[in-house]
Structure formats: structure tokens, C-alpha cells
Chains A and B, each alone.
Chain A
Amino acid sequence: MSDSHATTHFKELGLLAIVEVTNVCNLRCGYCYLGPLKSGDMSPETVKQVVGEFIKYNQSQQKLSKFYWHGGEPTLRGVPFFREVLRYADELSGEKVIHAIQSNGVILDEEWMTFLSEHDMGLGISLDGLDDSHNIGRSFANGAPSNKEVLKTLDRLAKTNIPVGILFTLHQRNRQQVQKVFHFCRERGFEFGLNALTRTPYHQTFEDNAPSPEMYADAVIEVFDLWLNQPAGERRIKANPPVGLVRAILTLTGGGECSHCTNCNEVIMAIRPNGDVYPCNRFSGMNRFRFGNIASDGLRACLQHQHRMKILARNYQVIERCRTCDIGSICNAGCMGQAHGEYGTIFREDPLCDAYKRIFHYAQQTINNNLITRKEVQYA
């Protein structure tokens, strides 16, 4: 069942920090946005600076702080590291701070489960298929498959109260797994999210498996129908993009999907292990998108950096193809990181543009088909 009503609360979120606490990873995913870089941890001092700067800034705006703990593989830093980080954040904030962690799910043991459960910490796990199609893009450094470890972890998580979201990255070789992974999630009460594999600045060989806009649209529409037609009386799960699409159409604000926000950089920042600040992980390490360093420059200077000002100028009205598009104000030109990966500039439409047109029109039609004009009202 949806838990959105039971746990709804409405405090306004501040600037969201995606914190890469390490470059180190136990997997070698073929589409990793960090490319070949696999060494370097964020120092405890830098972590404290990040937490302190963001909490202080968000409090000055009277907003809630939220941290997405990322990597590399963030769980490699261990439970004691995160226990200290969360304790520090709580102590500093004096009010609720929201934490979520994105993991490959390989080393999550009982200690981790207890910790996540105790702290009501959201957990995202990447799963690209139930069979070998997961391993094609997500193997260990020695080439060994990782799916058995991940599935074992997910079976254990299904027996806990930890809020789990599965992130399925669609590529040309796992298209047939979309439906299977959705049902896997529904049986276990996990949220399902589908992303498309997109190009990174490193142009790794595996990126040639990026799905075509047509394949991506087919997959999203399939997920939309799976989400929509979950049997009444049985466990239902939330799925994205579908929920985000409906919200985006009804509110014209992106509906919580970062790809369709007016400008995601108004609300997100990514911090590298060395403290360098970027608009999002998709730009990590690219100097012309660097806003500065959290330790040497501070967050406020990063917020005012000329690179950020340039990025904030992106919206659908400054992109020719989007300006005249009938879903321009809903789609908001898609992901600027994906546009940059494909065309080398953020001032282009997302390369999945043709897919978004199909998907939004499909969702819009579905909404319209389920509404009716009241008979007694003269509706102009």
C-alpha cells in the first residue's frame, strides 16, 4: 500500500547535498559516472564541514536539511563512520535531518540493517536484472558477477522495515528484465525506479549500450501500466517515473523528478570526496562546472559562483526545440547532465527528448481518460 498519506509532512526542504564520501568501490560498473577513478575517501574533517555548512545554510533559510550519501560505494566507509556523521548532524541541527544512502547492496550485513532501521534511513539499491543481465554492467573488479550478493541482501531487507528503493538502469541488454524486476519489487514492498543508461564524460565502452529514446519510452510506458494496474487489495508499490510523471503534469513543477524540475541546480549540489562542489554527480570532476571547494571557499561562495549562475540560466525557454514544444513547461528540457553527456552543452534538450514526448502524452491521456466532467456543471 502507498504510505504517502500516513507519513505525510510538509516542512520545506532546503538545498539537498549529494555527498560522495568515497571514490572507492568494490564493483566496476560499465556506466559509472566516476569513470576509472577508484581511490580517495572524504576526510572526517571535510564530512563535518559539509554537514555543518549545509545545515547552517538551510537553517538560515528556515528549511530542512537532507543528505544523500553517495560514492563510489558509500557503505565501504562502514557503520561507525555513518553513526558518527548522523550523530554530528543531529547534534548540530537540533531538529530532524533526513538521510538516504545509495548502495550497490553487496556488503550490507546485519550491522548495516540494524543501523538503517534504527535511523529510518532511506536506502537505494541498484539492480539491473534478476539474472546475468545485472552482471553485464555491474561486475566486481575481477569480473565476477555481483547479482547473487545483491539478491541475497534484498531478501534480507524484505524482512525489515527499512524503506528500500530499487534503481533499475535500463540498457540495451536488460530490456526484458523491466517487468520481472518490477514484480520482484512489488512482492517485497520495494519502491521501483527506472533510469536510462546515459553517456558519461569518460565514454566507456559499455555506454554504447545506452537505450534508444524509443526503447526507453517503451520501458517507461510498460512500467506506467504495471504501476497503474496493480491489483486492488494486494500490496501496491510506488514506481518512478510514473508517479513523478503524473505529479509533473498536474503541478507543472517537475513533480519531484529532478530531470523535469525548472532547474535542478536550485535545489541540488554534489560534493566530491576532496570537498569540491559540483551541480550534480553527473558533472563530478569537470572543472568548468566546479563551483569551488567546501573547505576553502565555503558553501555561500559556491552558491554564488559564476559557473552556477550560468547553469541556473538553463530552462526550457532558452532551448530552441523546447520553447515551441507542447510539453515544454512540463518536461523542462529534461536532464542537463544527459544533454551535456550527449552534446557537450547543457543548453540543449535531453537526448531522450523524443521519449519524453511519448511518455508525457501517454500519461496525460491516461489522466484524462480517468476524469469526467460533472453532469450538472456547464463546463466551458
Chain B
Amino acid sequence: MRNQPSTASEHIVEDLRAKRLEIKTDCPSPLREVIEEIVEHPEVELAWKKHTEHSRSSQRGCVMGCVLG
């Protein structure tokens, strides 16, 4: 059986899409942008699941220990 994180992280995106959760108005912009990127663009979530090129910025840097893109 799959281990679950201590909080229900696998439900966050689902609940945000269903409007059961929302991002606080004072959420810092960098965090808001990453959450919204996934929530508002299902293809981005899919991108990570399927290892998909999704961002020009992810071309940068060394692959070892860093983002794959």
C-alpha cells in the first residue's frame, strides 16, 4: 500500500480545483504561482507525471540534483 504523507497532499490539487480549498489572499506570490501553475493547468500536473518539457526556465543548470525540466 502506498505511504501517505502526514497531511493529505495528494488531495490538495483536487480540492483546489473543486473549490473546496482556496489559496489565501496573502499567500506569497512565488508559492501562489507554483500552486496555480499546477491547479489551473492540468497539463502541468500531467507534465510532471509524464516528464514533460514545460518551461523554458527548466532548461537551466545542471541536471544532477536539479530540475529535469
Contact = CB atoms under 8 A, between A and B. Distances in A.
Contact of A193 (B35, B49, B51, B66): B66
Nearest to B60: A165
Contact of B55 (A8, A246, A360): A8
Contacts of A7: 55-57
Contacts, number: 237
A195 B66 CA distance: 8
Interface in A1-36: 2-5, 7-13, 16, 18
Contact of B57 (A3, A253, A255, A280): A3
A122 B60 contact: yes
Contacts of A8: 41, 44, 54-55
A147 interface: no
Nearest to B67: A256
A379 B54 CA distance: 33
A10 B63 contact: no
Nearest to A380: B20
Given A167-B62, A228-B31, A370-B23, A326 B56 contact: no
Interface in A123-137: 123-124, 126
Contacts of B59: 98-100, 121-122, 163
A377 B20 contact: yes
Nearest to A226: B30
Q: In terms of DSSP, what is the predominant structure of the interface of chain A? A: mixed
Given A8-B54, A364-B5, A367-B31, A122 B61 contact: yes
Category for how many chain B residues contact A? 35 or more
Given A371-B22, A372-B22, A11 B27 contact: no
Contacts of B19: 374, 377
A107 to B, nearest CB: 18
Interface residues of A, number: 92
Contacts of B55: 3-4, 7-8
Contacts of A286: none
A329 interface: yes
A230 B34 contact: no
B9 A364 contact: yes
B47 to A, nearest CB: 6
Interface of B: 2-7, 9-10, 12-13, 15-16, 19-24, 27-35, 37-38, 41, 43-69
Closest 10 CB pairs of A and B: A165-B60, A122-B59, A165-B61, A124-B61, A7-B56, A370-B27, A328-B3, A195-B65, A256-B67, A102-B62
